[in-house]
Structure 1
Amino acid sequence: MRRVLCAFFAVAAGLTAVAGTATAEPGQRVACPDDKPGYVRCLTSYTPAVRGLADVPSGWGATDLAAAYRLPAGGGADTLVAISIAYDAPNLESDLNTYRAQFGLPACTTANGCFRKVNQRGDATPLPAFQSGWAIESTLDVSMVSAACPSCRILVVEADNPSLENMAATEETAVRLGAKVVSNSYGARETGAALALSKSYTHAGATIVASSGDSGFTAASYPAVLSSVVAVGGTTLTRDEGTARGWSETVWQGSGSGCSAYVAKPRWQKDKNCGKRTVADVAAVAETLALYVTDVGGWITVDGTSASAPFVAGLYGRTGHLGKPGDLYGRTGFFDVVTGNNDPRFNGDKCGGDYLCVAKPGYDAPTGLGTPDGVAAF
């Protein structure tokens, strides 16, 4: 009965909240407008820069993340990690390098061969129009990849607009240009039309990573719901000097989770109360990240699984390993997140206190198998 009820509530939630819609706190702004049918939206909310404070970072930076997730010394492998994004961010390269310099990371520029930006056809020009919210998103993506993998090269593939077809085209272009990891920080509720493009997110020679969504427990988010994609949820990170790790995590309340209405249960998922694909697979920090964006005044703080997905993508880049979501199940190398829920309005009642929206020991949908403990799992 619980399995039926959870499936019912997952579908019902999708009728009132499109999977992937960010839930901004007071004082925050949602970066991207609500998606319309046939389009996706980016999954970021941000606190605007405050006059007099925008010249210094606030929130977790790259050095904090390296400590919290016990990343090894050194930059990692020289892997090409691609960002699938919509619209152009004219200041992307300079903003990325402001971030990297702030946290002691080496420069990543067009001149040194680390950074490249192209349109959805793979050409340097013409680039798409500018859209400020998506520019925040792309800046977050490249910054989080950098935090996880300072030595990775970065390819940014910009779609003309965030239609399902154009975003799928960026995926194909990224792999064609040599990307071994592709990060997708956007989502839309899964539909038959969206799933018809699933082949663009299935590549034998590349790891595909996507944000699980920012609306908590609701209808599953596409493309994270695809069984070929590593779906990444979000956590709230806190310093905790009383533990051996020195940090603790709980479920970020916006972390997307849900049961697919279409995608068959992968053989590697063994959870009981979702008859089809369950989102998410793993998680990482998704709240209070420091980010430098010229277009909104300098240093801001951002939230969203748009941060956690590119961070995990960067970990795959750091190891240089090819990864599929099923490879993660049964592996060690995760911090188990056992507190919090992503159904704050009902305190977990929407799923009956079930693992689909409440953190539990072992696998739970908001944080999957847990968060990275080093890079062993990737």
Structure 2
Amino acid sequence: MARFFGTGPGEDTAGAPAGRRWRVPAEPAGAVRSVVGLAPGPRAVPMFRALPGQPQLVYTPVELGKLYAFPEGTDGTGQVLAVVTVTGGWRREDMDAYFAQLALRTPDIRTVEVAGARNAPGPVGEPPSPADIEAVLDLQVAGALAPGATLVNYFAPNTDTGIVEALRAAVHATPTPTAISLSWGSSERSASPDFVAALEDVFQDAAALGVTVCAAAGDAGSGNEEDDGGAHVNHPASSPHVLAVGGTTLVADPDSGTIHSETVWNAGSARATGGGVSEVFALPAWQERAGVPHRYGTEETGRGVPDVAADADGGTGYQILINGQTAFVGGTSPATPLWAALVCRLAEALGRPLGLLPPLLYQDVVPGRVPQGFRDVVAGDNGAYAAAPGWDPTTGLGSPDGTALLGVLSGRTAPDTTR
């Protein structure tokens, strides 16, 4: 259960009695790049964490948007935000009730079912499954923070082939999405080379088409649920063609908009932000000046993860609604659609898509300096790696100051990313 659903014993579902809240803290060889679909078993693990009991703090996505200074006068109008869901499902009545609670109209949510997958939530009278929680969580966070955007939910089976097909469908859809949110993944070590290569083809297409792909950095600290004592990063967040999203613990007053503290999310090895140095992908040229360290315990270099971060602690979690009940969820899962929604609002304000975003964000980054457009997170660790001024392998460049980031991006153009 822990391997496939990201939960431990007794944590795989969130339940509450009726009327009460859930609290869930050869010849063609040269033309063949990869072959997927031969590996058995599930491929992706949801990147949320549920905590039993009452969270210390809880925020609605709207409150987080204010705390992170999402640009005023924007709501994602004219943008398409695609969410790729691996199994699970959601109900329209939950969406209507949730957005009504937030004094928002229900966003335009469309579904695309790929490779036999369906929007198939479990029975209302039973506790929601991890897959259902993930499906609901992603849409409610994205829709609350970019209510003017069109949300397109791609359902995929939990197989190599299904996931690749769903992502390809999303990237090549008409109209082209502004952002794609991926709140799932697995350790690089469990991803087959063919699967990695197939996804890279799709991610490169996304970059060429101006699509920003956001992926969760993982919820199991620097070890990423590997039992060898080493440090390992999450895939597809480790791809240099995605924006990798890590997690923080945010203590703030949403009424006043005051952030009291923000630290690396680490509530134990099974509840901590992922991050580190890739074993698969080389250090990208645009990240060379960020001060990415050698991979823990080695002299090897690689792509540094994550790029950015946002609140992910279940103890300072996100309020959602599923099966008619309020729930509280953390993890890099909700942090990922938060960033995808911000991308949509930035694109709306700029009048252009952002595309492959990391090279833009790293243009003026140097080790030890607070990045422009970000709140630098300098306290805490995820196991093997500690926070530090500037970029680090726990929260990347930091959490967003959306308004400041808009100003930064308005003066930047995309660099050559072919290296």
TM-score by length of 1: 0.78
Equivalent residue, structure 2, for 1:77: 77
Cα distance in 2 for partners of 1:363, 1:226 equals 17
Equivalent residue, structure 1, for 2:355: 323
Contact 2:277 2:305 in 1 (8 A): yes
Superposition RMSD on alpha carbons, in Å? Answer: 2.9
Equivalent residue, structure 1, for 2:219: 214
Cα distance in 2 for partners of 1:264, 1:309 equals 23
Equivalent residue, structure 2, for 1:255: 273
Equivalent residue, structure 2, for 1:369: 397
Residues 262-318 of structure 1, C-alpha deviation per residue, up to 9 Å, x if partnerless? 101101113242311111000011121111011xx5101111100101100011111
Contact 2:246 2:310 in 1 (8 A): yes
Cα distance in 1 for partners of 2:257, 2:50 equals 31
Contact 1:239 1:246 in 2 (8 A): yes
Counterpart residue identity of residue 221, structure 2: G
Equivalent residue, structure 1, for 2:47: 43
> Identity across aligned pairs (percent)?
32
Counterpart residue identity of residue 286, structure 2: W
Residues 47-84 of structure 1, C-alpha deviation per residue, up to 9 Å, x if partnerless? 4699xxxxxxx821023212211123332432100001
Alignment counterpart, residue 322 of structure 2, candidates 268, 293, 299: 293
Alignment counterpart, residue 265 of structure 1, candidates 250, 270, 283: 283
Aligned residues between the structures: 326
Counterpart residue identity of residue 302, structure 1: V
1:302 corresponds to 2:306: no
Contact 1:148 1:312 in 2 (8 A): no
Cα distance in 2 for partners of 1:29, 1:127 equals 21
Check 1:264–1:67 CA distance in 2 against 1; reply closer, same or farther (3 A cut). Answer: same
Check 1:339–1:116 CA distance in 2 against 1; reply closer, same or farther (3 A cut). Answer: same
Cα distance in 2 for partners of 1:105, 1:201 equals 32
Cα distance in 1 for partners of 2:149, 2:212 equals 14
Counterpart residue identity of residue 181, structure 2: S
Alignment of 1:211-250 (within 5 A): 211-218=216-223, 219-239=232-252, 245-250=258-263
Residues 135-179 of structure 1, C-alpha deviation per residue, up to 9 Å, x if partnerless? 1101111111123222111000001x2112211211111122232
Contact 2:292 2:392 in 1 (8 A): no
Alignment of 1:1-378 (within 5 A): 22=6, 28-29=11-12, 39-47=43-51, 59-74=58-73, 75-91=75-91, 93-108=92-107, 114-120=108-114, 127=118, 129-130=120-121, 132-159=129-156, 161-177=157-173, 178-190=176-188, 191=191, 192-197=193-198, 198-202=200-204, 203=206, 204-205=208-209, 206-218=211-223, 219-239=232-252, 245-253=258-266, 254-270=272-288, 271-274=291-294, 275-287=301-313, 288-294=317-323, 298-320=325-347, 321-324=353-356, 325-329=358-362, 330=364, 332-343=372-383, 351=384, 357-377=385-405
Check 1:47–1:95 CA distance in 2 against 1; reply closer, same or farther (3 A cut). Answer: farther
Tell me how far 1:106 sits from its aligned partner: 2.4
Cα distance in 2 for partners of 1:251, 1:23 equals 21
Tell me how far 1:30 sits from its aligned partner: 6.7
Cα distance in 2 for partners of 1:151, 1:366 equals 32
Tell me how far 1:339 sits from its aligned partner: 1.0
Counterpart residue identity of residue 197, structure 2: A
Cα distance in 2 for partners of 1:154, 1:96 equals 12
Contact 1:96 1:143 in 2 (8 A): yes
Tell me how far 1:127 sits from its aligned partner: 2.4
Check 1:340–1:80 CA distance in 2 against 1; reply closer, same or farther (3 A cut). Answer: same
Counterpart residue identity of residue 113, structure 2: N
SS at match of 2:341: helix
Contact 2:378 2:389 in 1 (8 A): yes
SS at match of 2:405: coil
Contact 1:217 1:342 in 2 (8 A): yes
SS at match of 1:169: helix
Cα distance in 1 for partners of 2:83, 2:257 equals 35
Residues 211-252 of structure 1, C-alpha deviation per residue, up to 9 Å, x if partnerless? 0000111311111000000000011110269x9943421111
Cα distance in 2 for partners of 1:272, 1:47 equals 32
Equivalent residue, structure 2, for 1:4: none
Cα distance in 2 for partners of 1:153, 1:141 equals 14
Contact 1:235 1:251 in 2 (8 A): yes
Consecutive unaligned residues in structure 1, runs of 5 or more: 1-16, 51-57, 109-113, 344-350, 352-356
Contact 2:5 2:130 in 1 (8 A): no
Equivalent residue, structure 1, for 2:21: none
Counterpart residue identity of residue 229, structure 1: V
Check 1:196–1:30 CA distance in 2 against 1; reply closer, same or farther (3 A cut). Answer: farther
Check 1:364–1:116 CA distance in 2 against 1; reply closer, same or farther (3 A cut). Answer: same
Cα distance in 1 for partners of 2:84, 2:306 equals 20
Cα distance in 2 for partners of 1:318, 1:140 equals 19
Cα distance in 1 for partners of 2:110, 2:93 equals 12
